[in-house]
């Protein structure tokens, strides 16, 4: 993998991208993006550097992997990747719409699910997996970004998605030290992200009636119901979960009216208050 000195890059001449990492700054440079890791500790940079060296030469269709590393004084300061232009996060793309069309959403999710299978087949556990780390453009093309937190071989990470953390540790009270990222935890993250997008709530906060309000119209959500029931039962172990493309019903074409949904959510919060 090529190495570039940080001092050789004029960051002041570059525009920051719309989407920024929590511990990094991302710049746009034509067909490339430059990610500067200005929020990581030295140890975290060393671990990430070693992981990227192990992944050198890997290519996965639909995943933005580093093409060059940015080094200063033998320390990883960032990396360069391809620029997926004119895109938005999967969450923002659909959550910003007045009407969410399930057919359009599920077509994008089938692509994302099949890419996730390729990621797993290459020995990677994405780990920090959410719809904030999956991009989509107006043509419906899907691309995974922000691979920093992935696990590969003996290289692990301290990060998981917020939805996964709240579900596993705040709701199910799993022991953090016992958690091991896996293909199944990635699949769980996808399911949690889908339900959060559709309902504007975390699944553990949904009533049975609220879940039924969409599952009676959307076969895909109905297909997930047995898994959701097991996940919410604290006496059960987390079951082996499907990839989303394995439960998506191609016949789903229901439109979710976001404004009505938000009004119901406001009323629910008001009653609790």
DSSP string, 181-240: --HHHHHHHHHHHHHHHHHSS-GGG--HHHHHHHHTT-HHHHHHHHHHHHHH-TTSPPPP
User: Looking at residue 142, what is its pLDDT?
Assistant: 98
In this structure, how many other beta carbons lie within 10 angstroms of the beta carbon of residue 261?
A: 18
* β-pair type (68-72, 2-5): parallel
Helix (H, G, I), strand (E, B) or coil at 76: strand
pTM recorded for the entire structure: 0.94
CB distance 247 to 220 below 8 Å = yes
Cβ atoms within 10 A of the Cβ of 107, count?
Answer: 15
What pLDDT tens digit does each residue of the chain (273 aa) get?
Answer: 899 999 999 999 999 988 777 788 999 999 999 999 998 899 999 999 999 999 999 999 999 999 999 999 999 999 999 999 999 999 999 998 899 999 999 999 999 999 999 999 999 999 999 999 999 999 999 999 999 999 999 998 878 999 999 999 999 999 888 899 999 999 999 999 999 999 999 999 999 999 999 999 999 999 999 999 999 999 999 999 999 999 999 999 999 998 888 888 887 777 766
- Quick count: other Cβ atoms within 10 Å of Cβ 191? 21
Q: Are residues 116 and 241 in contact, defined by beta-carbon separation less than 8 angstroms? A: no
From first CA to last CA, the distance across the chain in angstroms is 55
Q: Edge to edge, what strands does the sheet with 68-72 contain?
A: 2-5, 68-72, 75-82, 32-36, 25-29, 15-16
Q: Apex CA 86: angle with CA 36 and CA 120, to 5°?
A: 65
């Amino acid at each position: 993998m090529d190495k570039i000195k940080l001092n050789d890059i004029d960051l002041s001449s570059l525009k920051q991208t719309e989407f920024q990492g929590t511990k990094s700054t991302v710049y746009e440079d034509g067909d490339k993006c430059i990610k500067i890791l200005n929020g990581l500790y030295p140890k975290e940079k060393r671990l990430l550097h070693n992981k990227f060296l192990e992944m050198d030469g890997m290519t996965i269709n639909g995943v933005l992997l580093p093409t060059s590393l940015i080094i200063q004084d033998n320390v990883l300061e960032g990396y360069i990747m391809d620029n997926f232009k004119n895109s938005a996060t999967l969450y923002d793309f659909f959550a910003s719409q007045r009407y969410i069309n399930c057919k359009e959403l599920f077509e994008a999710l089938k692509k994302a699910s099949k890419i996730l299978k390729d990621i797993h087949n290459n020995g990677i556990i994405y780990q920090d997996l959410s719809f904030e780390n999956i991009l989509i453009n107006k043509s419906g093309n899907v691309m995974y970004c922000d691979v920093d937190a992935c696990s590969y071989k003996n290289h692990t990470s301290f990060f998981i998605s917020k939805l996964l953390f709240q579900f596993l540790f705040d709701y199910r009270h799993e022991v953090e030290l016992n958690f091991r990222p896996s293909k199944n935890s990635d699949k769980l993250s996808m399911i949690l992200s889908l339900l959060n997008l559709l309902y504007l709530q975390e699944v553990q906060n949904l009533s049975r009636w609220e879940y039924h309000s969409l599952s009676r119209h959307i076969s895909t959500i109905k297909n997930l119901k047995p898994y959701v029931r097991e996940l919410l039962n604290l006496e059960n172990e987390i079951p082996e979960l499907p990839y989303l493309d394995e439960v998506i019903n191609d016949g789903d074409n229901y439109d979710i009216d976001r404004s009505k949904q938000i009004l119901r959510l406001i009323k629910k919060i008001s009653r609790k208050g």
